Amino acid sequence: MQTHQERHNREVVLLHISRQFEDIAKRVAQDVTHHAASSSVPAAVGFVLYFLRNAEGEPLKDTTLVRFGITIKEMEATAGFEKLVEACKARQLTARLEEHFYSQQPVFTRTYKVVIDGWS
């Protein structure tokens, strides 16, 4: 059973992740427009990636999430991710959270990225 401090730390991490999703939601329209306009292909088809960070600005690693017992499903259930999905739907885009291979040394480690796509 988790102690009060462990539950608090877990909620702090989830809140930090949720706020990153909210920040992406606020700027996704501008980022997609900029990305599409900078492409040499007319009516560019593409995607935008956002890598999640920990509180120190380093990549958010699965080792951190395991330590706090946080799953991808729980990250996707945050208010920030829901806002991001809605912001993307309003622009006929999709948002998804994916794991990304980071390192094999000293242990196999993954980070997390948000993929925004669906425009043409």
**pLDDT tens digits along 27-61:** 998 998 887 777 666 555 678 999 999 999 999 99
Query: How distant, in Å, are the alpha carbons of 3, 9, 44, 58, 80 from that of 95?
Result: 34, 27, 18, 22, 12
Q: Using one digit for the tens of pLDDT, what is the confidence trace for 61-116? A: 999 999 999 999 999 999 999 999 999 999 999 999 999 988 877 778 999 999 99
The model's pTM is 0.87
Whether residue 61 contacts residue 110, with contact meaning beta carbons closer than 8 Å, is answered with yes
Domain ranges of the chain: 4-119
Query: What's the CA gap between 47 and 92, in Å, rounded?
Result: 13
